[in-house]
Structure 1
Amino acid sequence: MGSDGRQSERDAIMRAAYRLISQGGSSTGTTTSIENILRAAGVNRRIFYRHFSCKDDLIIAMQEWAGDLILTALQKAVAAADTPAAAVAAWIENYLSIGWDETRFRDALAFMSADVTGAPGIATALEATYARHREVLTDVLAAGLADGSLPNARPELDSFAIHAVAVRHLEARIRGRVDTDFHEVRNQVVTLMLTGLSAPAVHPDLVGNGVAENA
């Protein structure tokens, strides 16, 4: 079988796993069997083990695959922005949309399931994916600091903070704890972050006195 055929098999298995795991949701605490995945993908065990050493290996591959799709979307959104500030807003909007877009939300459900959260190595793999997502934002913040449009930016620290806020909103949304309109959430987060990034730099020793440094 050619490389295209093998890739099709691999994709079919991952898509089937996504579908079954996301249907199980994040609240049931149940896991999806390899047998059900094989049945849904229309492949046998021999084909499964041609691509994955075990179910946990499949889970890690799914996470990396989904992370790469998100990374591509973030890069495209940021590239289309005219200014660093607009790029920050575009990054936030694209990331948050995972929780409000029907298709992206369904995929995100899979990563809150017992199948995924209990997989050995998933935390390390997820952090590596998050680091790639933050790198896009770090580069944008560095550009804004360099051209003076985001004078208070601390690229690596701020990308971590912005990402943490976005992830927290997504987790709350996926768990059914946030039903706020997407645009309201997006505007709140963007306004909060850009207000701080665009403000004059503040020296930590002077915060108590309310004195800001000149940018």
Structure 2
Amino acid sequence: MNSRTDAAVGRALAARRQEAVDEVEAILAAAVEVMERDAPAPPRVSDIIAAAGSSNKAFYRYFSGKDDLILAVMERGVGLVATYLDHRMSQVDEPARRVAVWIEGMLAQVADPDLIRASRAVTVQLAAITDRGIADAEIARPLRDRLSGSVAALGCADPERDTDAVFIAVLGLMRRCLARNVKPDVADINHFVSFCLRGLDVARSRNV
């Protein structure tokens, strides 16, 4: 094909890709809306399709079923949180402070009423998915990865295990807040950050 033909095909493909992106975003946003509205009852695909102004054909073009959609919603949420963490962590250099900012950024997701409502709705549905381990191990990995570099920079003897300890502790606190419908206040967050940093400092000192 000549350059003009290539350009024409490129424009057509770009338009189709954008159309697909827009359809998927509409379905994901509708899924969160329906999950929040109907929680704790499981959302119905028909309701999600109606809320998105979409169709069965479009839905199954992108998702194999409801579980696949819920995992996609979780993945999208993780991506947004990861971007938020990148922004906040880029503003500090000292490793311990970066760890603190990571923890604070994670806990911010259960300190905001709007975020906690959406997170709770998704978490309830995620618990019913057979492959929940995939969500914990794979989908949440970008969040863990943003912590691991700062933990390693502290000079801990076993940064992988130390990263896991902090990561699991933070997720545990977040899930407890969601389950009990409570949000941590500033004092709670500051105490938790201090606790984690003291633990990492002990781990680091054992390597000196």
TM-score by length of 1: 0.81
Can you give the 5+ residue segments of structure 2 that lack an aligned partner in the other structure? 1-14
In structure 2, the partner of 1:140 is: 150
Q: Are 2:195 and 1:195 aligned?
A: no
- Is contact 2:27-2:52 (8 Å) kept? yes
- Is contact 1:137-1:159 (8 Å) kept? yes
Q: Give the counterpart letter for 1:155 in structure 2.
A: P
In structure 2, the partner of 1:127 is: 137
Can you give the 5+ residue segments of structure 1 that lack an aligned partner in the other structure? 146-151, 203-212
- Is contact 1:71-1:132 (8 Å) kept? yes
In structure 1, the partner of 2:70 is: 59
Q: Give the counterpart letter for 1:60 in structure 2.
A: L
**Equivalences, count:** 193
Aligned counterparts of 2:42 and 2:92: Cα–Cα separation in 1? 41
Which structure shows the higher helix fraction? 2
- Is contact 1:138-1:159 (8 Å) kept? yes
Aligned counterparts of 1:153 and 1:70: Cα–Cα separation in 2? 28
Match of 1:73 among 55, 68, 84: 84
In structure 2, the partner of 1:209 is: none
Match of 1:118 among 122, 125, 128: 128
Q: CA RMSD in A?
A: 2.0
1:138: Cα distance to partner?
Answer: 1.0
Aligned counterparts of 2:200 and 2:135: Cα–Cα separation in 1? 30
Aligned counterparts of 2:36 and 2:181: Cα–Cα separation in 1? 18
- Is contact 1:141-1:154 (8 Å) kept? no
Aligned counterparts of 1:104 and 1:193: Cα–Cα separation in 2? 24
1:70: Cα distance to partner?
Answer: 1.6
Aligned counterparts of 2:121 and 2:133: Cα–Cα separation in 1? 15
Match of 1:15 among 29, 32, 38: 29
In structure 1, the partner of 2:169 is: 165
